[in-house]
Amino acid sequence: MASRMGLEIMYEEAKDAIEKASDLRELDQIRIEYLGKKGKITSVLKSLGKLSPEERKEIGLVANKVRQNLETDIAEKQEELSRLEIERRLALESVDITLPGRQPVFGNRHLIAKVIQDITNIFIGLGYKIAEGPEIELDYYNFKALNTPADHPARSLQDTFYIKRESIHPSDNDILLRTHTSPVQIRVMKKQGPPVYIIAPGKAFRRDVPDPTHSPMFHQVEGLAVDKGITFGDLKGTLEEFTRQMFGKDRQIRLRPHFFPFTEPSAEVDVSCAVCRGAGCRICGTGWLEILGAGMVDPNVLMEVGYNPEEVSGFAFGMGVERIAMLMYGVPDIRMFFDNDMRFVKQF
């Protein structure tokens, strides 16, 4: 039977073993050895009944004290060992953070599509809807309804691609590849009454031999607003809002009078150069970069689609997407857009 002294020696031994324990498993062995069901301290406590009341009291007191102390010591040691164990694991699991990550494979949007989306998003925010139309058009929608005279140079075989007659159903109307996305205006207005707020992105074709600034196919975004009381001031304000969102808050626009058959008054619109801010530099020359053509819808166009120009008025504008992309991203050659070199496509 353990004496008071014996218990104290037992405690010292246990304490010593706890301190020396190098991992949680060893510590658990020690716990079982002393405090387990058949552990040394447990045995002492179990056999207290065999002692005299005085002894029982004294030994019981000491043994309980030893048990409590051991429990505390083990808990402390356990905490320490857990911490060490985590530290060991962390040290073991360190990686070379400079190795490249496992990237999911991602494709890119074509730059032209991206620029079209940027443009259309701005106009969607201004209350416009996207309208689309065919790339092969009747002369009527592409020219005639847009107030373009029959002998206008743009209609010549030099400038416009025409479709071979025998390859299609004979009709009185010439068929051609649209030279702008403006015919979408006519199609929309013929289908619905005012108000009309649309933006029409798409492909257009002109009979240009490919070179750094020309392409037989290119993209245009056309805009049209027809409503009661639309003014030239509204056109200016709309284009200013577009410019600020598209090119930056500090960019300005300048409208120069111009001539288009389908608008009057008409304007060419310049945006101030990003580099020199309108002062003139090597990139822009004059300080301004031409970005679009615009104007008030000609009354003849409104009448052609059955609108009354005394009741509604409107503005229209059209911009070349490639040109804007070239200006914004510094692309030097329009043909790059259609070569689709992956080293180009993946840049944007």
With beta carbons less than 8 A apart as the criterion, state whether 247 and 271 touch: yes
Least distance from C-beta 238 to other proteins, angstroms?
6
Return the SS3 of 188: helix
What is the Cα–Cα distance from 302 to 132, expressed in whole angstroms? 19
Dihedral class, residue 95 (left if φ above 0, else alpha if ψ from -120 to 50, else beta): beta
DSSP 8-state secondary structure symbol assigned to residue 340: -
Least distance from C-beta 253 to other proteins, angstroms?
9
Residue 93 as a binder of other proteins (CB under 8 A): the answer is no
Nearer to other proteins, 56 or 110 (CB): 110
Nearer to other proteins, 73 or 139 (CB): 139
Residue 327 as a binder of other proteins (CB under 8 A): the answer is no
Identify residues 126-145 at the interface with other proteins (CB under 8 A): 126-130, 134-138
Nearer to other proteins, 49 or 100 (CB): 100
Return the SS3 of 269: strand
Q: Which stretch binds other proteins (CB under 8 A): 34-42, 85-93, 325-333, 338-346?
A: 338-346
With beta carbons less than 8 A apart as the criterion, state whether 185 and 143 touch: no
What is the Cα–Cα distance from 155 to 176, expressed in whole angstroms? 10
Nearer to other proteins, 39 or 202 (CB): 202
Residue 207 as a binder of other proteins (CB under 8 A): the answer is yes
Identify residues 307-326 at the interface with other proteins (CB under 8 A): 313
Residue 193 as a binder of other proteins (CB under 8 A): the answer is no
Residue 248 as a binder of other proteins (CB under 8 A): the answer is no
Q: Which stretch binds other proteins (CB under 8 A): 8-16, 58-66, 203-211, 325-333?
A: 203-211
Identify residues 250-289 at the interface with other proteins (CB under 8 A): 254-259, 264-268
What is the Cα–Cα distance from 74 to 39, expressed in whole angstroms? 14
DSSP H or E stretch at residue 319: strand 313-320
Residue 167 as a binder of other proteins (CB under 8 A): the answer is yes
Residue 209 as a binder of other proteins (CB under 8 A): the answer is yes
Those residues whose C-beta lies under 8 Å from the C-beta of residue 335, and which sit 6 or more positions away, are: 210, 211, 212, 215
User: Which residue among 17, 24, 48, 217 contacts other proteins (CB under 8 A)?
Assistant: 217
The structure tokens listed for 342 are 């992956």
> What is the Cα Rg of the chain in Å?
42
Tell whether omega for the bond before 170 is within 30 degrees of 0, i.e. cis: no
Residue 299 as a binder of other proteins (CB under 8 A): the answer is yes
What is the Cα–Cα distance from 329 to 45, expressed in whole angstroms? 85
Q: Which stretch binds other proteins (CB under 8 A): 15-23, 36-44, 66-74, 153-161?
A: 153-161
Residue 234 as a binder of other proteins (CB under 8 A): the answer is yes
With beta carbons less than 8 A apart as the criterion, state whether 223 and 123 touch: yes
User: Which residue among 51, 113, 328, 336 contacts other proteins (CB under 8 A)?
Assistant: 113
